[in-house]
A and B are shown apart, each in its own frame.
Chain A
Amino acid sequence: MSGPLLYGLAAAALIGLGLHGVLAHAAPLRRVLAFNLVGAGVFLLFGVGARRGAAAGLPGDPVPQALVITGIVVAFAATALAMALIRRLAILRAAAAGTPEEGAAPAAAPPRETR
Chain B
Amino acid sequence: MVGDALASSPGGYLLVLAVLVPVIGMLAMPVMGLLRVRHAASLAFATIAVGVAVVGAVGWRVVGSGEALVYGIGGWSPPLGLALRADGLSAVMMAMAALVIALVALYARPQFAAAETAPGGRRAFGFWALLMGLWSALNLAFVGEDLFNLFVALELLTFAAVPLVCLDGTAATLEAALRYLVFALVGSVLYLLGVAVLYARYGTLDIGLLHELAYPDFATHAAIALMIGGLMAKAALFPLHLWLPPAHAGAPAPASAVLSALVVKAPFFIIVRLWFDVLPGASHEAAARALAMLGAAAILVCSVVALRQARLKLMIAYSTVAQVGYLFLMFQLTIEPGVPAWATIGWTGGMLQLVSHALAKAAMFLAAGLIAEALGHDRIDELAGAGRAVPVSLFAFGLAGLSLMGLPPSGGFIAKLLLLSAATLSGAWWIAVVISVGGLLAAAYVTRVLKRAMAPPPEGIVTSPVARSRELAALALALCAVALGLVPLQPFDLLAIGRAGVALP
Residues of A within 8 A of B (CB): 15, 19, 22, 28, 31-32, 35, 38-39, 42, 45-46, 48-49, 52, 54-56, 61, 63-64, 67, 70-71, 74, 77-78, 81-82, 85-86, 88-89, 92-93, 96, 102, 106, 109-112, 114-115
Contact = CB atoms under 8 A, between A and B. Distances in A.
B175 interface: yes
A115 B185 CA distance: 17
B169 A71 contact: no
B168 interface: yes
B448 interface: no
Given A52-B200, A55-B202, A115 B175 contact: no
B155 A63 contact: no
Contacts of B170: 92, 102, 106, 109
A20 to B, nearest CB: 12
B199 A54 contact: yes
20 contacts: A22-B186, A35-B186, A38-B193, A39-B192, A42-B193, A42-B196, A45-B193, A55-B202, A67-B195, A81-B162, A85-B162, A85-B166, A89-B174, A92-B171, A96-B171, A106-B169, A109-B169, A111-B169, A112-B167, A114-B163
A89 B167 CA distance: 13
Nearest to A8: B200
Contacts of B195: 67
Given A54-B200, A89-B174, A38 B163 contact: no
Q: Do most interface residues of chain B lie in helix, strand or loop, or is the interface mixed? A: helix
Q: Do most interface residues of chain A lie in helix, strand or loop, or is the interface mixed? A: helix
B171 A93 contact: yes
A85 B189 contact: no
Closest 4 CB pairs of A and B: A55-B203, A49-B200, A112-B169, A54-B203
B148 interface: yes
Contacts of B196: 42, 45-46, 49, 64
Nearest to B173: A106
A77 B159 CA distance: 8
Nearest to A74: B155
A28 B129 CA distance: 27
B178 interface: yes
A102 B171 contact: yes
A70 B169 contact: no
